[in-house]
Chains A and B, each alone.
Chain A
Amino acid sequence: GAVVSQHPSWVICKSGTSVKIECRSLDFQATTMFWYRQFPKQSLMLMATSNEGSKATYEQGVEKDKFLINHASLTLSTLTVTSAHPEDSSFYICSARDFIGTSGIDTQYFGPGTRLTVL
């Protein structure tokens, strides 16, 4: 099946610093990637849709200047949390859309997630 990697798997940073998270599709090209956030015991909340070569589309309530998304190639999207604060501590998960379909269907495959803790 399609494989998506994420780096780092966990990060601890001080309040006010910026953190970059990378999401890579390893064995397929993904024109579309999605960034989710998940708080403990809650479901995944879509933050933004990242399209290769164009600006990301953010969900209502998500600050685009705080969560910078860059999708520079068909296999890489990055999420930068700028000026992080303790309330940004969460589990961030990316997914990549496998449109051509290694599984035979148009679906999303998830990365392993990045646990961010802001002190």
Chain B
Amino acid sequence: GQNIDQPTEMTATEGAIVQINCTYQTSGFNGLFWYQQHAGEAPTFLSYNVLDGLEEKGRFSSFLSRSKGYSYLLLKELQMKDSASYLCAVRDRVSSGSARQLTFGSGTQLTVLP
């Protein structure tokens, strides 16, 4: 199974940088995803890491260390519209007869203040 931990809430100021951490314990690992979810809406895909290191995508970057079971999402030049819940999700390694599944953390609610 999977156990995923991330902070419940974070607050930052417009224009700043914020790092959202995620730690996981897993019996199988086949990639880590970050999703953004605004209230009342479905999650939208932000980033994907399967190898160690940093993946950069505009204002958002995601880092993975498989040996430490650790990832973070880095948001730069924060904007008010970045206020949302950020979900860390780990995908299982393929097992016989089952599709690859995502297990989600509880999400980190980020509030960006003016």
Q: Which residue of A57, A105, A108 contacts B102 across the interface (Cβ within 8 Å)?
A: A108
Q: Are B98 and A46 in contact (CB under 8 A)?
A: no
A107 x B106 contact (CB < 8 A) = no
Across-interface contacts of A113 in B (CB, < 8 A): 40-42
Least Cβ–Cβ distance between A58 and chain B, in angstroms: 12
Most buried by B among A6, A42, A106, A108: A108
Tally of A-B Cβ pairs under 8 angstroms: 51
Select one of A91, A97, A105 contacting B99, CB under 8 A: A97
Distance, CA A103 to CA B48, complexed state (A) = 11
Q: Which of B31, B41, B101, B105 has the most CB of A within 10 A?
A: B101
Interface residues of chain B: helix, strand, loop or mixed (majority): loop
The reply to whether B100 and A44 contact each other, CB–CB distance below 8 Å, is no
- Asked whether A49 and B103 contact (CB < 8 A) given A44-B43, A107-B33, A111-B42, the answer is no
In the bound complex, do residue B45 and residue A103 qualify as a contact, i.e. CB atoms below 8 Å apart? yes
Which residues from A are CB-within-8-Å of B75?
A: none
B contact residues around A42 at 8 Å (CB): 106
Query: Contacts A43-B105, A43-B107, A44-B87; is A57 near B98 (CB within 8 Å)?
Result: yes
Binary A-proximity of B72-89 (CB < 8 A = 1, otherwise 0): 000000000000000100
A34 / chain B contacts, CB cutoff of 8 Å:
101-102
Best-buried of A46, A93, A110 by chain B (most CB within 10 Å) = A110
